[in-house]
Structure 1
Amino acid sequence: MKKKALFVTDPQVDFCSPSGSLYVPGAEEDCARIAEHIDRRGEEYARIFVSLDVHTRGSIFFPEFWEGVDDAARRPEPFTGIDLEMYLKGECAWVPRDAVVREHVVSYFRELAAKGEREFTIWPIHCIAGTEGANIHPSVALALERHTVRTGRPLDLVFKGYRPYVEQYSAYMPEVEAVLVDGDIREIVLCGEALSHCVLHTAGDMREALARRGYSVAIDILDGCSSIIPGFETATRKALASLRIGTAPF
């Protein structure tokens, strides 16, 4: 049997509880299923990774980072999209409040546009370090605790999102890659939130980085354990199809 790793992406209160500031519809049910999966099948995995979104106030993707070009008191509403092409042409209604970082933002947006990105999203304030919303949802946290007590295996925690001047959807990092390759993992099963963003970007980076190293690994999404932020359904399905991401049975 090939060695497998489970990658639980951002199972945090702000995403997974209906009271969370960036609740993904269906995420609470996803957490219940993830917990059940870990209880039933956790020992099938050689490693279990859990990524956590950790942000600070004033980050580039929060409203308070920006001000109106014609009215410095204005802030963009959450879910506002900043068109990268318009921004780079100087035709955007928004500009960073701190003039010191404006050249950095131009450079960063050029990088995003070069990668094929067209829009930058402003999100509700979420997963702020030290707050309840940044915690692992209780159902998943308890299942992970039971797994460690049962097996003696610690979790591999992955922290992301703490750099204030860039977005970071993907949880795939060099240290994650090292664990996968050194552990001879041959299948990675992803779940968590949101399928349209952090799960999708993590899967894409895994695919690209491991292929670049010539490392053969299957990448699958755990069936029924990740939800899509409303409005991103079509783009998500197209991206998963183009990446050739499969589905792992629950």
Structure 2
Amino acid sequence: MYPNFYKQEAAAQLFLPRYELIAQEVVAAKRQGDLGRDALFIIDAQVGFCMPGANLYVPGAENDVARLCEFIYRNKQSLAKVICSLDTHYVYQIFHSAYWRNEKGEMPEPYTIITYEDVIENKWQPIANRELALDYLRQLEEASKYQLCIWPYHTMLGSVDHALQPILSESVFYQALFSNSPTEFILKGEEVLTENYSVCAPEVTVLHQQDKKIAVGEFNMALVEKLLKYDRVFIAGEASSHCVKATVEDILAVIKKTDPRAASKLYLLADCMSPVPALPGADFPQMAEEALQKFAKTGVHVVCSKEF
């Protein structure tokens, strides 16, 4: 059922891709007729989240990835398209320590929460664009979205932890060759002044500076429309409490306005995603579980990968 090169125990290992070996196995697999009309949407299944020891490792993510790889191999005949998002960051962004200082010139520790009031009271100050940073914090709080969290540096463009988890990289390469359809990659998270949990849009799309409006992103409607053209859209990735949750919420917001029945096209592979561990005052696992329950009530299928 699985290619000879695939070894489940490699899910937590870093290694170079074996392109030629994979290509040979694709030839041997011999596609049977036409492909199905399903898509697989993989959200941020990167080394920075899935490799034990990584700065923002999500516990259990390496096992999620192994199950996802096996899902791909079992369903290679039905998967017409694989789309992967890649969380993509730089040093000086509003959610990184380097962007902030206190009165002593110290940077905040990872997982520090910074509020609008903190900046007004001079507890923390941005190194640049104070007015825009304040507007960002104000909008977050008014919308009751996630508070600004200082995340550990992670998935920096050009770094090892930006790449797909190696075992998964091989699986999507295999599927691209088998389906004659290249994997599509979407970079997200590059804006300096906003977080970007959802693949569809950043947390804030417009900031205000005096009488000026400054665009810092837009909603990726083309992505949603592309996904909904498929018969079924399987969704997996990390983390279920953040980027997966936010992305599905955005897709469902579009579906609600256009065709609520389309929610039934979405299949969340619940055993191929895990939440960020709980922090003081933030029970992320509970948030993830509540989100899955909420999605199911809209018609989304919350399933186990082994059902397919």
TM, length-normalised to structure 1: 0.89
What does residue 165 of structure 2 align with?
A: 137
Counterparts of 1:130-209 in structure 2, within 5 Å, are 130-172=158-200, 173-181=220-228, 184-209=229-254
What does residue 116 of structure 1 align with?
A: 144
1:130-188, Cα deviation, whole Å (9 max, x unpaired): 1111011101000011111212111121110011111001112223123124xx22432
- CA distance in 2 between counterparts of 1:221 and 1:40 reads 17
What does residue 275 of structure 2 align with?
A: 228
- CA distance in 1 between counterparts of 2:164 and 2:98 reads 25
What does residue 52 of structure 1 align with?
A: 86
Asked if structure 1 preserves the Cα contact closer than 8 Å seen for 2:80 and 2:179, the reply is no
What does residue 106 of structure 2 align with?
A: 74
- CA distance in 2 between counterparts of 1:185 and 1:63 reads 41
- CA distance in 1 between counterparts of 2:59 and 2:221 reads 31
1:30-66, Cα deviation, whole Å (9 max, x unpaired): 1111111111113323322100011111111101100
User: How large is the RMSD of aligned CA atoms in angstroms?
Assistant: 1.9
Which of 42, 47, 64 is the matching residue for 1:8? 42
- Stretches of structure 2 lacking an aligned partner (at least 5 in a row): 1-35, 201-219, 279-283
Q: May I ask how many residue pairs the two structures share in their alignment? A: 241
1:5-44, Cα deviation, whole Å (9 max, x unpaired): 2111111111111131111111111111111111111332
**Closer, same or farther: CA 118–150 of 1 in aligned 2, 3 Å:** closer
- Stretches of structure 1 lacking an aligned partner (at least 5 in a row): none
Asked if structure 1 preserves the Cα contact closer than 8 Å seen for 2:76 and 2:178, the reply is no
**Closer, same or farther: CA 186–106 of 1 in aligned 2, 3 Å:** farther
What does residue 22 of structure 2 align with?
A: none
- CA distance in 1 between counterparts of 2:85 and 2:55 reads 18
Identify which of structures 1 and 2 has the higher relative contact order when contacts are C-alpha pairs closer than 8 Å and 6+ apart.
1
Asked if structure 2 preserves the Cα contact closer than 8 Å seen for 1:82 and 1:92, the reply is no
Name the SS of the counterpart of 2:134 in structure 1.
helix
Cα deviation, residue 3, structure 1? 4.1
TM, length-normalised to structure 2: 0.73
1:70-89, Cα deviation, whole Å (9 max, x unpaired): 22x211111112245x347x
Task: Kindly name which structure, 1 or 2, has the bigger radius of gyration based on alpha carbons.
Answer: 2
| Counterpart check, 1:35 vs 2:45 | no
Percent identity, please.
30
| Counterpart check, 1:61 vs 2:95 | yes
